[in-house]
Chain A
Amino acid sequence: MLEVKGVNSFYGKAHVLNDMNFEVAAGTVVALLGRNGAGKTTTMKSIMQMVRPRSGSIIYKGHDITTWPSHKVARNGLGYVPEERRIFTQLTVLENLEVGRQPPRDGCTTWTDEMVFDLFPNLAERRNNRGKALSGGEQQMLTIARTLMGNPAFILLDEPSEGIAPVIVEQMARVILQLKSEGLTVLLSEQNLHFAQAVADGVVIIEHGTQKFVGTLSDLQAQPDIRDQYLSV
């Protein structure tokens, strides 16, 4: 469904992604793993065209999307959930959802406010609160909920478990599995295996912007030395 082919990305002169190559098959969950600063966020932004790859290409559903503007990428069913809970703090929960709302898309669930609230009951009570009044976990739920409002076929989840309470992490894992069961394809990034092994089918490990391992979760678990070498514990 998504192919990353020989992608090189830069910030100014800093070469951050070095020849990234991997695929995400429809209906699977792939975990992009690596330590802080490895290039996970940059990979996701390169897919979304928020960072323009200097060479290589991103193929989504057979289209080369490498020169598209981000909004067009999003409108074609790629939903990006940023790290660090970039919600609109001055807007209410409902308004945040409004910003994410897009017209229905063939073959994808058409999300409504109420469906999102069923998925994240905590948000339902806070629908008229401003973003800045939410707790860290609620903000994280809102970033996901907001992206779902765009009726994506594929979501990119950047470190969803970072800095939130263990109970909520478990809830996140359940949500991801539920989304997967409804047919959504997921690429998620994490710094360690902890959260990923509960949800992922495939794994990509990067370090210093270079891909070190591509395989299934069970492949990786059979090679504990790789895990210890590239991931934080």
Chain B
Amino acid sequence: MGLFIAQILTGLANAGALFMVASGLSLIFGVTRVVNFAHGSFYMLGAYVGYSLMQVLPGMVGFWGAILLAGIIVGLIGVIVEICVLRPVYSAPELFQLVATFGVILVIQDLALMIWGPQDLLGPRAPGLKGVIRIMGEPVPQYDIALIVITPFVAFALWYLITKTRIGTLVRAATQDREMVSALGVNQAWLFTGVFFLGCALAGLGGALQLPKGGADLLMDFTILGSVFVVVVIGGMGSLPGAYLAAVIISVLNVFGVTYAPQSTLVLMFLVMVVVLMFRPFGLLGKEEVAGEHGQVGEPERPIKPAGNRIRLLVAAGLLILGLLPLYSGNFAVVLVTDILIFCLFAASLHFMLGQGGLVSFGHAAFFGGGAYAAALFVTYADTPMELALVLAPICAGLAAIVIGWVCLRSTGVYFAMLTLAFGQLLWSLAFQWGDVTGGDDGLVNIWPSDWASDNSVYYYIAFFLCTGGILLLRQAAHAPFGYAMRAARDSARQAEAMGINTKRIQLVAFTFAGIMAGLAGGLFVFSKGSIFPNELETARSFDALIVVFLGGVKTLSGGWVGAAFFEGIKDYLTRFEYWRFALGLSIIVVVILGPEGIVGSLRKAGERFGLLKVPEDAK
């Protein structure tokens, strides 16, 4: 009994930071409609800044003052980010905003590395609260009790601010109808900035408050992000009580999970979320969200056309050069281009459902890694030959896509995105925690191609044919009537339904098709590397694909593989620099703001300007 109560108390204490970060995210989303992916980074900054302040401010006052100051400083950093990065992209489609905030994550990661170094920092203990108290014989840290008391105060202050003050009234009004609020004389820009300050300050406060429990490290940003999404989704986007409730549920669950089912804590969290969403698609206390629109920047999307002769010639020449590669270049290039081809197929599959279907998935790595793991498991446990494993990998990924797609497609917009992310995390947790089968962190090794294909050049040809074939197939599907139906469902679901298109079914088929192709890429990947580790399932991998698609150009047909080839090509070079994340993050932000058409779109424009390409009649 004592242990039980002690564990509940620990859970409640852990819920504090989680609640603060989640409510900040929720607030920002409510008013600005931006899902701030960098929110975990502000949490991390809160911890680091708090740590540094505690080094210089002495005693009890210093400790608590440092926490408060950390919140304010992080809030101000948030203001800088809002003004410089988000203001220019508020009117852009969701994806652009998400990618921009992702750029912020990279920049903050490297800034933290520069300032605080790579080693984990041990948080100082709170002066005067270093001991434990005994509850029915079980020790409970005094600081935990302090957190349990503080959190409701913060929650209450927040509630008071939102429901009882003029600022709060404006925030709630803006959550419902921003345009109207500004027509009534309220300066939206500053309201957004204010909300961003508040949301980021909350994240920073959460990060600083958990210092004595968890310290500060460079992985905090992504670690908290998954939990925060789960909390926000379970509690309901935009609901403060919901965020508190969900934070408590998840934290308590985690504490019990660690004791009774240490293998499955992460999985448990996502299972709870899926169950909640099955019954309450908008969370426990949430309200229905208006689906995020697939907005357009600049000129409207051009109709899809078969490639012109000049382009075809270029592509044929490119394929020829690639096809003859092993004849004129060394082993290194062959292996590198194999990797690039595989990544191109993976990116093209995401681009297909994102560009054509408007389905912004944050968990596409689930199918890439899923296909890879499927192949690896078959080889390891059933001695399956490579040929068969390469067939089974896309099939398994496709089956997973049917199930995951069926659940996720019940929601739209940001909820869809967060659900796919959560499922990606779920598969990752499975691979990571189910060590007996998947090898856990050590992965699965010795997955080599069949003898006849073991030569790098031969394997190169396998990858070459399967990847280009897959990419052409995806392209074919975009030109087929199926592609029209997808675009119709993307641009106006209601109109498409009226035309007799079953939009949900179309989307599920598209999702599954994309999953199959990603699975094929995964299968090819595992045989090229000879091993597979959980990081191929990570959210970061899904983000890689998203960024690549984005850099290539969402609104173009070939943006996916072009972006992938470019990115994978320069990655080797780029990652030699110590602070390459900083550079990459910054360039992403610049691209979002200045060149949202991506590489392909910009090339096309340049080509048209210099008369190399014809401008289509309807685009004049």
Contact = CB atoms under 8 A, between A and B. Distances in A.
B173 A74 contact: no
A74 B172 contact: no
Interface string A1-30: 000000000001100000000000000000
Contact of A82 (B172, B176, B183, B300): B183
B185 A102 contact: yes
B415 to A, nearest CB: 19
B129 interface: no
| Interface size of A as a range | 20 to 34
A94 to B, nearest CB: 9
Interface in A67-82: 69-71, 74-75, 80, 82
Contacts of B166: 98, 101
Interface in B171-195: 172-173, 175-177, 179-188
A74 B169 contact: no
A100 B182 CA distance: 10
Contacts of A88: 172-173, 176-177, 180
Interface string A142-168: 000011001000000000000000000
* Secondary structure of the B contact surface, majority rule: helix
B182 A69 contact: yes
A75 B196 CA distance: 24
Interface in A49-107: 50, 69-71, 74-75, 80, 82, 86, 88-91, 95-96, 98-102
B53 interface: no
Contacts of B183: 48, 50, 70-71, 74, 80, 82
B170 interface: yes
A101 B181 CA distance: 11
Nearest to B176: A88
A150 B176 CA distance: 20
A82 B300 CA distance: 28
B185 to A, nearest CB: 4
Contacts of B176: 88-91
Contacts of B187: 69, 71
B300 A150 contact: no
Contacts of B182: 69-71, 74
Given A12-B300, A82-B180, A86-B180, A91 B172 contact: yes
Scoring B169, B170, B175, B181 by chain A CB atoms within 10 A of each residue's CB, the highest score goes to B169
Given A90-B172, A90-B176, A91-B169, A99 B186 contact: yes
A50 B179 contact: yes
A52 B183 CA distance: 13
Interface in A99-148: 99-102, 146-147
A179 to B, nearest CB: 17
B185 A75 contact: yes
Contacts of A101: 166
Contact of A71 (B169, B172, B188): B188
Contacts of A99: 169-170, 173, 181, 184, 186
B169 A150 contact: no
Contacts of B179: 50, 70
Contacts of A74: 182-185
Nearest to A147: B184
A96 B169 CA distance: 8
B184 A98 contact: no
Given A50-B179, A74-B183, 10 more contacts: A13-B300, A69-B182, A70-B179, A74-B182, A75-B185, A80-B184, A91-B172, A91-B176, A100-B184, A100-B185
23 contacts: A69-B187, A70-B179, A70-B182, A71-B187, A74-B182, A74-B185, A75-B185, A80-B184, A82-B180, A82-B183, A86-B180, A88-B173, A88-B176, A90-B176, A91-B169, A91-B172, A91-B173, A95-B169, A98-B166, A99-B173, A101-B166, A146-B184, A150-B185
Interface of A: 12-13, 48, 50, 69-71, 74-75, 80, 82, 86, 88-91, 95-96, 98-102, 146-147, 150
Interface of B: 166, 169-170, 172-173, 175-177, 179-188, 300
